[in-house]
């Protein structure tokens, strides 16, 4: 009799625990469903720092050590250099310099009106530079560089007039993240996704995806038979958040650019360890025009 009663109590306890777990899981799902894009943005801004500090930060210069790793189907190599992020309100400069003769670096500048991208050689841009030239909104919107830049669009989303929608949760390196879809006001062929840590609401990744399909000739005949679509993926990853002044900013920045097409694939990666942060410094407006560099 005692044994039967013990079993009944054990089963009752097991069912009670299971019910509680289901209840907690349901509550978690309900919370995730109720979360809106504006909630994520608001918590993200709080994670950066006080509103007064964010508003008073009109310019930034961030400098660090850079390492570039290039991989193709048959070879790979790595070189070291330096990188700088400069910004004044919505003006942006990203520059990476290396000593390798076949790759002196990449420079992108937006002066608030015009995007310029430095040439690797006269008349020739790098693969990354050409991609950004064709998809200029990535730089013009202030997306590139994330919170390292004063032009980061989430700092003043109303001015950007962009559409941001909540796309649920995802996993990055085992961490739960909130995902937002970002659509510029003028539209874009590039799919843009922003990811935020579910606990800290730090911005940890921006992902850009572009697919270019094979062309179909008149009459419905594929004039590129045997070829497939070309896929471009650009990832910006932000980590090692620390306080600089009153702002919490990433100290490790990784940029990865992948191209997949019929003739082969490539994967280029730049990892930057940020060492120096200067705020509200005067920056010559000519610095944001890099085309002649």
Q: Cβ distance 54 to 45 under 8 Å?
A: yes
User: Rounded CA gap, 143 and 268, in Å?
Assistant: 19
C-alpha to C-alpha distances, 29 to 32, 42, 168, 170, nearest whole angstrom: 5, 20, 10, 13
Single pTM value for the model: 0.83
- Helix, strand or coil for residue 26? helix
User: Rounded CA gap, 275 and 271, in Å?
Assistant: 13
Which pLDDT score is estimated for 6? 42
Q: What are 113-161's pLDDT values in tens digits? A: 999 999 988 889 999 999 999 999 999 999 999 999 999 999 999 888 8
**Token pair in block for residue 137:** 């909104």
Which pLDDT score is estimated for 293? 61
Q: Cβ distance 63 to 82 under 8 Å?
A: yes
Which pLDDT score is estimated for 76? 76
Which pLDDT score is estimated for 25? 41
User: Rounded CA gap, 36 and 20, in Å?
Assistant: 26
Number of C-beta neighbours around residue 228 at 10 A: 11
Which pLDDT score is estimated for 215? 59
* CATH topology classification for 36-288: outer membrane lipoprotein receptor (LolB), chain A (2.50.20)
Which pLDDT score is estimated for 14? 43
Which pLDDT score is estimated for 11? 41
Which pLDDT score is estimated for 29? 40
User: Rounded CA gap, 257 and 266, in Å?
Assistant: 8
**Token pair in block for residue 258:** 């992948």
Q: Cβ distance 207 to 255 under 8 Å?
A: no
Which pLDDT score is estimated for 105? 95
- Helix, strand or coil for residue 119? coil
Q: Cβ distance 254 to 83 under 8 Å?
A: no
Q: Cβ distance 233 to 208 under 8 Å?
A: yes
Which pLDDT score is estimated for 163? 95
C-alpha count within 13 angstroms, C-beta hemisphere, residue 170: 15
Task: Give pLDDT tens digits along the chain (293 positions).
Answer: 444 434 443 444 344 434 433 343 433 443 444 789 999 999 999 999 999 999 888 899 999 999 999 987 666 789 999 999 999 999 999 999 998 888 999 999 999 999 999 998 888 999 999 999 999 999 999 999 999 999 999 999 988 889 999 999 999 999 999 999 999 988 889 999 999 999 999 999 999 999 998 654 444 445 554 457 899 999 999 999 999 999 999 999 999 999 998 878 899 999 999 999 999 989 999 999 998 66
Domain ranges of the chain: 36-288
Which pLDDT score is estimated for 74? 63
Q: Cβ distance 41 to 165 under 8 Å?
A: no
Q: Cβ distance 147 to 37 under 8 Å?
A: no
């Amino acid at each position: 009799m005692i044994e039967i009663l013990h079993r009944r109590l054990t089963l009752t306890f097991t069912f009670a625990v299971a019910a509680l777990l289901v209840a907690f899981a349901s509550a978690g799902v309900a919370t995730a469903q109720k979360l809106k894009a504006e909630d994520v943005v608001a918590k993200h801004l709080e994670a950066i720092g006080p509103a007064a500090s964010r508003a008073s930060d009109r310019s930034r210069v961030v400098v660090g050590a850079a390492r570039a790793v290039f991989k193709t189907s048959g070879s790979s190599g790595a070189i070291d250099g330096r990188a700088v992020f400069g910004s004044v309100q919505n003006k942006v400069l990203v520059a990476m310099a290396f000593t390798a003769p076949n790759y002196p670096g990449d420079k992108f500048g937006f002066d608030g009106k015009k995007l310029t991208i430095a040439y690797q050689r006269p008349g020739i841009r790098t693969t990354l530079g050409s991609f950004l030239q064709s998809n200029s909104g990535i730089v013009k919107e202030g997306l590139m560089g994330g919170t390292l830049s004063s032009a980061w669009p989430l700092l003043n989303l109303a001015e950007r007039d962009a559409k941001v929608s909540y796309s649920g949760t995802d996993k990055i390196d085992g961490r739960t993240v909130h995902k937002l879809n970002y659509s510029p006001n003028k539209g874009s062929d590039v799919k843009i996704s922003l990811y935020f840590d579910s606990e800290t609401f730090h911005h940890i990744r921006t992902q850009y995806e572009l697919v270019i399909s094979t062309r179909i000739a008149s009459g419905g005949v594929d004039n590129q038979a045997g070829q497939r679509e070309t896929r471009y993926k650009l990832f910006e990853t932000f980590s090692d958040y620390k306080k600089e002044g009153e702002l919490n900013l990433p100290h490790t920045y990784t940029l990865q650019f992948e191209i997949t097409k019929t003739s082969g694939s490539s994967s280029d990666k730049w990892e930057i360890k940020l060492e120096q942060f200067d705020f509200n410094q005067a920056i010559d407006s000519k610095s944001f025009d890099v085309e002649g560099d």
